Amino acid sequence: MADKSIVEAVKKAIELAKERNRKFRESVDLAINLKDVDLKNPKNRIEEEIILPHGRGKQVKVGVFATGELAFKSKDVADVVITPEEIDDLAENKRKAKKLANDIDFFIAEAPLMPVIGKKLGVVLGPRGKMPRPVPPNIDPKGIVETLRKTVKVRSKDRPTFHAHVGTVDMDPEQIADNIEAVLKRVESKLERGRMNIKSAYVKTTMGPAVRLW
Q: pLDDT by residue (tens digit) across 80-98?
A: 999 999 999 999 999 999 9
Helix (H, G, I), strand (E, B) or coil at 164: strand
4-57+152-212 adopts what CATH topology? Answer: Ribulose 1,5 Bisphosphate Carboxylase/Oxygenase (3.30.190)
The pTM score is: 0.91
The CATH number, out of the four listed (3.40.50.720, 2.60.40.180, 3.80.10.10, 3.40.50.790), of the domain defined by the range 62-148: 3.40.50.790
Return residue ranges of the chain for CATH 3.30.190.20.
4-57+152-212
Q: How far apart are CA 26 and CA 208, in angstroms?
A: 9
State the helix-helix crossing angle for 84-92 and 114-125, rounded to 10 degrees.
Answer: 30
**Cβ proximity of 8 and 16 under 8 Å:** no
| Residues belonging to the chain | 214
Query: From CA 206, how far away is CA 92, in angstroms rounded?
Result: 35
Q: Which residues of the chain register pLDDT less than 50? A: none
